[in-house]
Chains A and B, each alone.
Chain A
Amino acid sequence: MEIIIIFISLIIVSAICFFIKYRGTIEVCSILSSGVALVGSIIVAIKVAEIGSYTRYGIFYVDALGAITMLIIGLIGFVTTIYSIQYLHQETTKNIIGFHRVKQFFTLLNIFLLAMFLAITASSPIFAWISIEATTLSTAFLISFYNKPSAIEGAWKYLIINSIGLILGFFGTLLYFTSVSSSNTELINWQLLADKAVHLDPMLAKIAFVFILIGYGTKIGLVPMHTWKPDAYSKAPAPLGALLSGALLPVAFTIVMKFKIITDIAVGDLFSKNLLIVFGILSIGIATLIMFNARNYKRLLAYSSIENAGLITLGFGLGGFGVFAATFHLIFHSCIKAILFFSSGNLLLKYNSSKINRIKGALSVVPFTSILFIIGFLILTGMPPFGIFFSKMLILSVGIKTNPIVTILVIIFTTIVFVGFLKHVTKMFFGKKTDDVTVGEVSDWLLFSPTLLLVIVFCLSFYLPSFLSKLINMVSLTY
């Protein structure tokens, strides 16, 4: 019932945003729908922690990783909606956008949230694929939101690359279905595929998983399918960046992991683990090297997402405690990346530029935003005592036993990330401000969402609610 309520509220509010002409109504309804989605996600997560999985009407199925991802979508969706209201108000004041764009934004935002929830709760892999494709379609116009040539270019690149990736993912999905008899009339679901996986031709399973990893890996942004990410993130409105990095990445990742279970039954876990390690280290390495010379802070955050996606993939590839650490990392990365995207949105509103060399002395201009960004950077790069420090340490300690060379490379890359990020942060936040910028935050309301997330991150670093702890343990046992 909870899932149905989430869907109905998001569908109704999408329609309201499309048809109603009162901005206040659109904003209040959007907050309500994302709030309902958050509460619904928490209820589902608690139920999954209690009984192991959540199944309804034969078409919805949520396991432990799915429940964690639902929590992430719910939380990031809720804070993004709150942040977007004030962010779009500021853009309207500056005459960057009009009311028509605001309507478009909230309509598509709610559809995007709906598509992500559908993808993660669908019991059928094909329905999950349809929903993931729907996330591409709903966000394409959000990336081209400002209707500038560069935004259109970024959106086009996003549309084409993701569509190709997802079509290949569809091909991979179809190949898994060969294990199920053609006379089967039931809806093919994750459970049935896992049950029949022993009948899957091992070579076929390997080919299928490669296509899945390429297909959904495009959505995750794993190297070398990452090329759309910096362009899309840098051209999209800042709140969308938070959702793309914080919520969509875990959704696509969860689906890959569901296919991993099936593949592991058919061919053993070594094949998928090795592939995940290769894609993980490649993503960490390439993103790190580009981050060092980034010139645009939104692109910097996009490359950071690729690097962290690589770390999560590596953690799952290492297995055992690595999975535990990667799940932990998945949660923290989503929250921190949203904080960084919200702070970058504040900087963009203040300086009207996303170029790093145009942001000077931000600490004295927008002190709260700057502190949020700097804390976000410190947490993201693994500064103790926050959660990401522990997740990185765990991944590395597991890796050093099983894959020492890969782990040493990761240590080198993460050090470069810290130095590179620090270089950009120093340039942007310290030093003397330029004369053309007035001192003061753009709006105090723009600080609410990132501060709320920071409090959550702080709390989760020292105390995990029992249901969340149970879910993470269940994920490590399953994957």
Chain B
Amino acid sequence: MNSFYTQILLTLFFVSIVFLHIVKKNITTVILYSLQSLAIVLLLVNSFLETGKNSLLFVACLVLVVKVILAPAFFINSINKFKLKFLVTTYVNTPLTLISVTILTAFAHSKLFISLAHIIPINEHLLYLALSAIFISLFLIVNCKVALSQIIAVLSLENSIVAFGFFAGLEQSPILQIGIVFDIFVWIIIATVFISMIQKHFGSLDVTEMKYLKD
């Protein structure tokens, strides 16, 4: 594996999640998600170039279509349709968010997870970084107030786990990978439909407006 190239890709992936915490515009969150998905595609392409397995190239193309092109297209369409140019809001302010991200990254590098990082010892630092990405994606889900950002945070968590699986050598058979991508695609469609329904019923995508279940 071309370690410098993959290191750069994973670092970009990690940085994109950190930025997802601090950007304020919906459109930027979509672009960041698209970029991190592109990093996943490039990792798969790199793997194809090294192993020569055509199935990997096929899965990479599928991920490119679903996560880099279609999903962002759906989200941008929703943003334009409902004029959702307002700011992305979080429960915790930016300085505290960054402190939390730092703590979570340090936590992921703790001895508690040494067995995860040692699945493939040569990839230890990359696995720690991927694990950090998982944790800060989870924090992103909790921290978001807006439905669209929550969706992107869930998808970001999924990407982080895919990245971890990649560096841990836990890639699945092509059929299962296609199944997983198809599942994610259907999930994206359903989540996008729910965005429309939430906007229609609540006049906003802010989930803190959802107060009908307090009985």
* Residues of chain A at the chain B interface (Cβ within 8 Å): 124, 126-127, 130, 133-134, 137, 140-141, 144, 147-150, 152-157, 159-160, 163-164, 167, 170-171, 174-175, 177-178, 182, 185, 187-188, 201, 203-204, 207, 231, 235, 295-296, 299, 355
Contacts and interface: CB of A to CB of B under 8 A. Distances in A.
Contact of B170 (A130, A157, A177, A201): A177
Interface string B188-200: 0011001001100
B176 to A, nearest CB: 5
Contact of A163 (B118, B172, B187): B187
A177 B169 CA distance: 9
Contacts of B114: 203
Contacts of B170: 174-175, 177-178
Interface string B166-180: 001110110110011
A164 B172 CA distance: 20
A159 B191 contact: yes
A127 B210 CA distance: 34
Interface string B159-170: 001001100111
B186 A150 contact: no
B50 interface: no
Contacts of A156: 147, 194, 198, 207, 210
B206 interface: no
B30 interface: no
A442 B6 CA distance: 65
B134 interface: yes
27 contacts: A124-B176, A126-B172, A133-B187, A134-B183, A137-B183, A137-B187, A137-B190, A140-B194, A152-B198, A155-B194, A156-B198, A157-B213, A163-B187, A164-B154, A167-B157, A167-B161, A170-B158, A171-B164, A174-B161, A175-B170, A177-B170, A185-B173, A187-B173, A203-B114, A204-B116, A295-B215, A355-B215
Contact of B134 (A127, A152, A171, A188): A171
A140 B151 CA distance: 15
Contacts of A159: 190-191, 194
B183 A133 contact: yes
Contact of A127 (B168, B176, B190, B213): B176
Contact of B150 (A160, A177, A182): A160
B90 to A, nearest CB: 16
Contacts of B169: 182
Interface of B: 113-116, 118-119, 134, 138, 141, 147, 150, 154, 157-158, 161, 164-165, 168-170, 172-173, 175-176, 179-180, 183, 186-187, 190-191, 194, 197-198, 201-202, 207, 210, 212-213, 215
B166 to A, nearest CB: 10
Contact of B161 (A152, A160, A170, A185): A170
A188 B165 CA distance: 15
A187 B194 CA distance: 35
Contacts of B164: 171, 174
Given A126-B172, A126-B176, A152 B197 contact: yes
A203 B165 CA distance: 18
A147 B193 CA distance: 12
A6 to B, nearest CB: 19
Given A156-B210, A159-B191, A167 B198 contact: no
Given A130-B179, A160-B154, A231-B213, A149 B202 contact: yes
B122 to A, nearest CB: 13
Nearest to A206: B115
B115 A203 contact: yes
B115 A204 contact: yes
A207 B115 contact: yes
A124 B175 CA distance: 12
Contacts of B186: 134, 137
Contacts of B116: 175, 204, 207
Contacts of A148: 201, 212
Closest 6 CB pairs of A and B: A150-B212, A203-B115, A153-B210, A149-B201, A182-B169, A204-B115
A39 B37 CA distance: 45
A431 to B, nearest CB: 22
B183 A130 contact: yes
B118 to A, nearest CB: 8
A413 to B, nearest CB: 24
Nearest to B177: A126
Contacts of A153: 210, 212-213
A465 B34 CA distance: 56
A114 to B, nearest CB: 14
A154 B213 contact: yes
Contacts of B161: 167, 170-171, 174
Contacts of B187: 133, 137, 163
Nearest to A184: B173
Contacts of B213: 150, 153-154, 157, 231, 235
Nearest to A202: B115
Nearest to B118: A201
Contact of B154 (A163, A185, A207, A355): A163
Nearest to B200: A152
Most interface-central of B141, B187, B198 (chain A CB within 10 A): B187
Contacts of B172: 126, 188
Given A159-B190, A163-B154, A164-B138, 4 more contacts: A159-B191, A164-B157, A171-B164, A187-B173
